[in-house]
Amino acid sequence: MMISAARKIAYEVLRRVEAEGTYASDLLHAELGAGVKPEDAGLATELVMGVLRWRRLLDFLLERQLKKPVAKLDLPVALALRIGIYQLRFLERIPARAAVNESVELVKSARKTSAATLVNAVLRRAANESRVPAEKLVPQATPAAERLSILHSHPTWLVERWLARLGERPTIALLEANNRAPRLSCALHDLTKREQVFAALRHAGLRLESGTILQSAFAVSGGSPTRTESFRAGAISIQDEASQTIPLLLDVQANDRVLDLCAAPGGKTPPLVRAAGSAGMVVAADRHAHRLRAMREQFKRLDLTQVRLVELDAASPLPFGAHFNRILVDAPCSGTGTLARHPEIRWRLQPEQLVEFHALQIALLKSALERLAPGGRLVYSTCSMEPEENEQVVAEALRGVSGFRRAVPSESAHTLKDKLVAGFETESLFDREGYFRTTPGPLETDGFFAAIITKS
C-alpha cells in the first residue's frame, strides 16, 4: 500500500520536531513548497499541528490499548500511532481503514516492520471506541488538574499554575484557545495601498478578514500569502496581530535614535524604521550571527536598507556610547502565550526554565535601562503568560533605581489611539496598572505582555 504525500510529510516533520527540537511551523513552511498539492498541504498541516496539540490526550487513549507508556516506544512507532489515532478521533472524513493501514505502512517505511502488528492491533482497538467522548474514558477519581490536563492536552504543572492564578473558567478558556488553529494574521505596511494590495491578494485566491485590533492588520485563509507577489514585493508580512501592536507602543518619532535590543527574527523592527524615517537611526541587535543574516534578507524584501545590525550579548553592559530615545526589549521567553501557534512548546518547557528566563530577562532590561536617554521611552515585552517573566521582571529591574516610571493606563492607551480599528476600546488592551496584555481566545491573537517605561 502506498503512503499518501500528506502523511509522509506529516511524519517527517513530526520526527524532526522531536529529534531536532525545531519548530513545526518552520518545517512545514520549508516542506510545503509549490510542488505540493493544496489538499496534501492542508492535510499535512492538520496532522502535524493536531498531533502536537493533542499529544497528551492521544497518548492517554493509546495507552488504554498499549498498557504501557507511549514514551517507551521507538519514536517512529509512537509517531505512527499518534498520526493514526488523531485521524480516528478528530478527522471524521478519513476512513478508519485508511488511518490504520497507512500508519502501519509508516512504521514499515521507517524500518520498524516488527512493530507493524502492534500498530495495526492498537489502532483497530482504538477505532472501536473513537466515538466515545474522552470525558467518559478518564477515571472520575482523577484529580481536577490532571483531568483537565488530559482532556485539554497540556502538561499538568502548567494547568496547575493557571488554575491557581486564574481560576477554573479562565483556565479552561485558555486551554481551549490553545487547541484551536490560530488565525494567519498579516501586516499591511502601507495603509494608502490597502485596496490595491487586497485586490491583488484576492486575485491570488486568498480570502481576507479585517484585523480585530489594528487598521494595518488582516487575516488570510485559503492559501499561503508567502506565494503572492504582494509578499515578495514587501507590501505585507506574516505576523500575529498582538505582536504587530508591540512596536507601536514605543511611539517612535521622526529622527529618533531607536534600539531594538532582541531583534531576531526581525518582525518588530520594520515599523520602528519607518517611524524613525531617513533622518533617524535604528540599531537591531541579536546575539546570533545567523539570525542577523536572516534578518538582513528579510529587510531586503521590505526595502529597509538603513537598519544597523549589531551582534552582541544584550545581557551584558551594552557597547554603545550614545543613548537612545526609544528602546524595545522583546525578551526571549517561555512562549506560553503562543501555544496554539507553537504547540510543541508545551511539551518542551519545564518549570525550572521560568527561573532561568526570569534571570536573563532582568539582565536584559537592566542593560537597556542604562542606555535610555532622558525623556525616552522603553517597552519591555514577552509572548509569555507567566508573571515571573512579566510584571515581576519589571518590578525587580526598577527596584532601587531612580528616574524611571511605568506609564499609567491612560498614557499607554493614548499611544495606540489612531492605529486601532474603528470602535475598538483601547483600554481593553491594558490592565489597571497600565500593562499591555492580550490573552489567546478573545481577540484571536497570541498572548502578549508589555510594559511601557519612561525616563525623566
Kindly report, residue by residue over 339-396, the tens digit of the pLDDT: 999 999 999 999 999 999 999 999 999 999 999 999 999 999 999 999 999 999 999 9
318 contacts 248 by C-beta, under 8 angstroms? no
DSSP 8-state assignment for residue 287: S
Q: Is residue 34 over pLDDT 80?
A: no
What one-character DSSP code corresponds to residue 427? G
Q: What is the pLDDT of residues 126-168, one digit of tens each?
A: 999 999 999 999 999 999 999 999 999 999 999 999 999 999 9
**What is the distance in angstroms between the CA of the first residue and the CA of the last residue of the chain?**
71
Could you tell me if residue 182 is inside a domain? Answer: no
pLDDT of 263 reads 95
d(CA 397, CA 353): 19
Instruction: State pLDDT tens for residues 241-282.
Output: 999 999 999 999 999 999 999 999 999 999 999 999 999 999
Q: Do residues 271 and 386 both lie within one domain?
A: yes
- Do 71 and 195 lie in one domain? The reply is no
Q: What is the CATH number of the domain that holds 92?
A: 1.10.940.10
Number of domains within the chain? 3
Nearest to 186 by CA among 249, 236, 242: 236
Name the residue range of residue 69's domain.
Answer: 5-137
In a domain, 92, yes or no: yes
- Domain assignment present for residue 75? The answer is yes
pLDDT at 315: 93
Residue 383 annotated to the active site: yes
CA distance linking residue 390 with residue 387, whole number of Å:
5
Asked if 115 and 18 sit in the same domain, the reply is yes
Residue type, 181: A
Q: Give the domain-ending residue among 104, 137, 170.
A: 137
**Closest to 388 in 3D by CA, of 165, 70, 69:** 165
Do 205 and 343 have their domain in common?
no
Q: What one-letter code names the amino acid at 397?
A: A
pLDDT score recorded for residue 320: 94
Per DSSP, the three-state class of 226 is helix
Residue 272 counted as domain residue = yes
Residue-averaged pLDDT of the chain: 95
> In this structure, is residue 178 part of a structural domain?
no
The single-letter code of the amino acid at 417 is K
Please check whether residues 120 and 204 belong to one and the same domain. Answer: no
Specify the DSSP class assigned to residue 129. Answer: T
For the chain, the residue count is 456
One domain, residues 258 and 309: yes
Q: Active-site residue among 186, 262, 333, 383? A: 383
Taking CA atoms, 324 is separated from 111, 197, 280, 292, 398, in Å, by 58, 35, 11, 21, 18
Same domain, yes or no: 298 and 398? yes
Please report which residue ranges of 91-182 form alpha helices under DSSP H. Answer: 96-109, 116-128, 134-137, 144-151, 156-166, 168-178
For residues 377 and 453, the answer to whether their CB atoms sit within 8 Å is yes
Among the residues of 335-390, which ranges form H helices?
A: 345-348, 351-370
- Distance in angstroms (rounded) separating the CA atoms of residues 36 and 257: 45
Please name the residues in contact with 215: beta carbons below 8 A apart, sequence gap of 6 or more.
191, 419, 420, 421
Query: Across-strand partners of 438?
Result: 448
**Judgement on whether residues 210 and 263 belong to the same structural domain of the protein:** no
The least confident of 8-17, 164-173, 258-267, 403-412 is: 403-412
Q: How far apart are CA 376 and CA 262, in angstroms?
A: 18
154 domain-assigned: no
67: left (phi over 0), alpha (psi -120 to 50) or beta: left
